[in-house]
Amino acid sequence: MAGWEEKVPPLMREKLARIGEATPEEKERMRNSQLLDSFLSEFYKGELSPEGLWGKLKEYKDKGKSHLLQEAQMRLIDSINLGSTPVEFQLRRDAVLAAESLKEDRNTATLELGLNSIESLQRRYKDEMQQAYNNLKAQVERNPQSRMQQVKQGQTTIVMQLSVDEAVKVNPEWRNFISYHEKRYSQEFAKMMAKLRKEVK
């Protein structure tokens, strides 16, 4: 893989220049890391299924590069966020567990438990938000006055009629709810993710 140094991010290249020539082990680790980047990039784009990723990782495991399994799992876990769609989450979950199945010392049940907790939290986060939105939407629909908004244009103030959706989104009650909701769930999500990362061995 000639010219791999050119593909190294500038910051890393600077570090390498400062610490001198990379050892053969470091170069190998960087090459492996770049290959993992390309597999995961294909996976995120939907060009590689969890089974396909499993096949690529198995090739590396068979070449004695089992450490890549853990690195792949960590990167997959880091790509999960609170707002991930159910499809995105399912794909990442399948890929994390597929990589786990290649390990000698498996921790599958604990990882599954952690992933289930995260999935359940994501569902609660979305359900609560939808419920709050529906309640406010019903209030706005019952009170047409709440859809009127005054807008200043130069010296003139005009009254605009908002759509129900727009009226809900500018409602202070909705904004306060979203701010509190995000904060509360983000904290819980961060704790669960930290716990899940610890289970990847």
> One digit per residue, pLDDT tens: the chain, 201 residues?
445 556 667 777 776 666 666 677 778 778 888 888 888 999 999 999 999 999 999 998 898 888 889 999 999 999 999 999 999 999 999 999 999 999 988 999 999 999 999 999 999 999 999 999 999 999 989 988 888 887 777 788 777 888 888 888 989 999 999 999 999 999 999 999 999 999 997
Indicate if 62 and 151 belong to the same structural domain: no
Indicate if 99 and 126 belong to the same structural domain: no
Indicate if 143 and 93 belong to the same structural domain: no
Structure tokens at 151: 């807008």
Neighbours of 23 (CB within 10 A): 10
Query: Are the beta carbons of 188 and 69 closer than 8 angstroms?
Result: no
Q: Quick check: is 111 in a domain?
A: no
Indicate if 57 and 130 belong to the same structural domain: no
The count of structural domains within the chain is: 2
Q: Quick check: is 113 in a domain?
A: no
- Amino acid identity of residue 117, one-letter, is S
Indicate if 128 and 96 belong to the same structural domain: no
Indicate if 28 and 91 belong to the same structural domain: yes
Q: Quick check: is 115 in a domain?
A: no
Indicate if 9 and 79 belong to the same structural domain: yes
Q: Find the domain containing 172 and state its range.
A: 122-201
- Region at 148 (left for phi over 0; alpha for psi -120 to 50; beta for the rest): beta
Q: Quick check: is 114 in a domain?
A: no
- Grouping H, G, I as helix, E, B as strand and the rest as coil, residue 65 is coil
Indicate if 127 and 96 belong to the same structural domain: no
Q: Quick check: is 116 in a domain?
A: no
| pLDDT at res. 185 | 96
Write down the pTM of the prediction: 0.77
Decide which of 74, 106, 138 is a domain's last residue. 106
Indicate if 18 and 85 belong to the same structural domain: yes
Query: Whose CA is closest to 125, among 80, 81, 172, 82?
Result: 82
Indicate if 3 and 92 belong to the same structural domain: yes
Indicate if 102 and 128 belong to the same structural domain: no
Indicate if 133 and 101 belong to the same structural domain: no
| pLDDT at res. 16 | 67
Q: Quick check: is 56 in a domain?
A: yes
Tokens 């990379």 label which residue?
A: 22
